[in-house]
Structure 1
Amino acid sequence: MTTQVPPSALLPLNPEQLARLQAATTDLTPTQLAWVSGYFWGVLNQQPAALAATPAPAAEMPGITIISASQTGNARRVC
């Protein structure tokens, strides 16, 4: 048999933080919980304004070569 780690040991929150989070979200609807989740995701992924405003340099587009062949000779009329 393998030893299973208790779920509380895997949480990045201490018991007090978990209790506060559970108390704050007890009366929220599923839609509100989804919004809060997105809000925290946005807070986590915020970038400084200077980095967000700097556009990436445009890459040069490579040229495209089209090759056409036809056994019946129809390609000559396309060009």
Structure 2
Amino acid sequence: MEKLNLELYMKNCYTLKENERLRKKAKLLNEENQALLSELNQKFSNPTYSKPKNSAISITDHLNLSFDSNPSSSYYNNGEP
């Protein structure tokens, strides 16, 4: 019984470390995505950029809709699953 408990404890420790590693990676990816989105916003808000006449939705709106449709996106917005 003690051996089983020890094995489960070790597996749990590994899972917790892996979870923390993945959280850090997700945070970095989110920061990178935010920086890229900011670049896009600046590019498309530039007065020299000519928006296509038939475009009813901006690139930012399109990207926001794409991210909002992802059910796991709430994790990236507030840092919790």
- TM-score between both structures, scaled by the size of structure 2: 0.25
More helix by share: 2
**Greater CA radius of gyration, 1 or 2?**
1
User: Greater RCO between the two (CA within 8 Å, min separation 6)?
Assistant: 2
